[in-house]
Structure 1
């Protein structure tokens, strides 16, 4: 099983980009990198995912290193509303997020 590790907490100035790193050195070829976030007592919310290429959507960007052993989630303009627990998960893709 691939294991993803990330910092326990991070601070960011409001309005600045927040860079959240994730290490997944045991990732296999067919495993995707997924990011979710959980705000307070709400359920997890999908943020973004990728396989090899960098990805960007309305919420965030995902930068994946060439060897795929690590990645960074970038929130371009972090606000207080982005305060959450962020989860980096490595798994084989499923159509449901």
Structure 2
């Protein structure tokens, strides 16, 4: 099991936990919109660090992005497995062709 799988499992386990005892439970208790907002904030911070070129800060922000992505997915009852299945479906398909096939 990868670190990402373990993180996803931890987030899933925190659903319904006491928001006072867990940052993840607190985010989830505030609803999908708040989870999406936090994901967006972290994504912007990662972009800023990518532009600045600070590898250490970008690494830290990228980890935050992954965490908040998983929380946002959990807030909408989606899983890492759902996303991985979609990536597998796209494997071997040109990005140009994949985008053209979207409706």
Give the TM-score normalised by structure 2: 0.26
Higher RCO by CA contacts (8 Å cutoff, separation 6 or greater)? 1
Give the TM-score normalised by structure 1: 0.27
Higher helix residue share = 2
Give the structure with higher Rg (CA).
2
Higher strand residue share = 1
